[in-house]
A and B are shown apart, each in its own frame.
Chain A
């Protein structure tokens, strides 16, 4: 069982959260011409790191805020959590 510290609510069990995937992915800028290659990068390509991974979680059965979590994908150690708007 993972225990994730929601920056809004405190330490909660994994059951309260839904996973949202890699948080380092950047959407191409709005109102700009986007090539197939850029779009492919944004929508489909993922580094899928072994080790430290910055990811999105949704505190869906809690405050319903999206948060960022820095977690080790091999050991599940959680190093730090952030509000969605915070940069690391």
Chain B
């Protein structure tokens, strides 16, 4: 594989950049693979990469119905963090933070990881107490957390609304300084390029339409480009999980809902961090291009529409303006939506299933982008070894049966409620 470096950039400049190799090939599917990964989003691509790199399993295919990166991996607002209270979530996410820190070097692709820090604003004494508890739990797990009072927040984000008579005054906030953002497309492309170079077949425009299961064992898949055999199949289809589960006669503890995001026109640098509103659901960061990147609540009802509805966007931006009034002066540039696999306790599932050789990766809710490397790493382990790693042991499918939920937000079974 051709290395991306400043020397190669200069070298290729002399022949009008016509000497670059393709970043990944476009092969036709073979008849059989050791492992098939369904879904060419961040998680599928990362899984294939770690299967090849960590477990030396290279007869692997990624089957993607559209193009890689066209799903949620290319639609999210790129927030990366590990500010969780429960051990399972904290340790899994912090393991991922370490992979993020070295990802650009490891993939030889600039994913523009920007650990700019995240601040969750608090708007009451009770919320400050809850944040201090969460911050302490994080620190016990070796994750950086700083509790900020009102004056400290004011120094960092002076353009937030600090006036006296506001409905939701800012009491302070919880900051994870090492959290941040990254370039989402770059993550998909970086994993794809490296996986391809180790022999993984990336097969695009190929929809999985069914499965061959014989005597409780997976034998292969059916696709729009024909049948393909494999004794191990991993599902990484995010918002489409329930559709494929139905073909396997499985009913899962997830519902598909729509999440929107939007960006404003670009402006000069004003916001250095990721900031979230604590009295509702709104978050914001500024992209390198200067756009304010914003998002918040789900549309609020089951949806596979992949495009949003205006009332939710209006509601979310009202929260944004309450938090930072200057946002009302900006023009909206773009809005879009992605279909989200909302699990019933807000935590994901990375597990084996009752079908031998069939593995499940889903339930990512609002936060699957940040999980991309850790999810790929643990899912590859689960598939290669046919047993879960201790990092994803808490993300079992059976936890709903036994009551061992990971309800980080205390939202109960309706994680889609606003």
Contacts and interface: CB of A to CB of B under 8 A. Distances in A.
A14 B309 contact: yes
B251 A19 contact: no
Interface string A2-24: 10000000000011000101100
A1 B310 contact: yes
A1 B246 contact: no
A53 B401 CA distance: 25
Given A1-B309, A73-B302, A76-B305, A47 B246 contact: yes
B301 A48 contact: no
A66 B323 CA distance: 34
Contacts of A1: 309-311
A73 B309 contact: no
B46 interface: no
A42 to B, nearest CB: 10
Nearest to B258: A73
A45 B251 CA distance: 6
A43 interface: yes
B300 interface: yes
Nearest to B343: A44
B414 interface: yes
A36 B252 CA distance: 15
Contacts, number: 72
Nearest to A35: B401
Given A55-B301, A75-B305, A46 B311 contact: no
Interface in B274-317: 300-305, 309-311
B242 A45 contact: no
B84 to A, nearest CB: 21
Given A21-B414, A43-B413, A36 B402 contact: yes
A43 B414 CA distance: 10
A9 to B, nearest CB: 18
A74 interface: yes
A79 to B, nearest CB: 15
B218 interface: no
B253 A2 contact: no
B332 interface: no
B253 A46 contact: yes
A48 B311 contact: no
Interface string B388-416: 00000000000011100000000001101
Given A1-B311, A14-B311, 15 more contacts: A2-B309, A14-B309, A19-B416, A21-B302, A40-B401, A45-B253, A46-B254, A47-B242, A48-B256, A50-B243, A50-B256, A55-B302, A73-B256, A73-B304, A74-B305
Interface of B: 242-243, 246, 251-256, 300-305, 309-311, 344, 400-402, 413-414, 416-417
22 contacts: A2-B309, A14-B311, A15-B311, A19-B300, A19-B301, A19-B416, A36-B401, A40-B253, A40-B401, A43-B344, A45-B252, A45-B253, A46-B242, A46-B251, A47-B242, A47-B246, A48-B252, A48-B254, A55-B302, A71-B301, A75-B305, A76-B309
Interface of A: 1-2, 14-15, 19, 21-22, 36-37, 40-41, 43-50, 53, 55, 71, 73-76
Top 6 nearest A-B pairs by Cβ distance? Answer: A48-B242, A44-B253, A44-B400, A19-B301, A45-B251, A44-B344
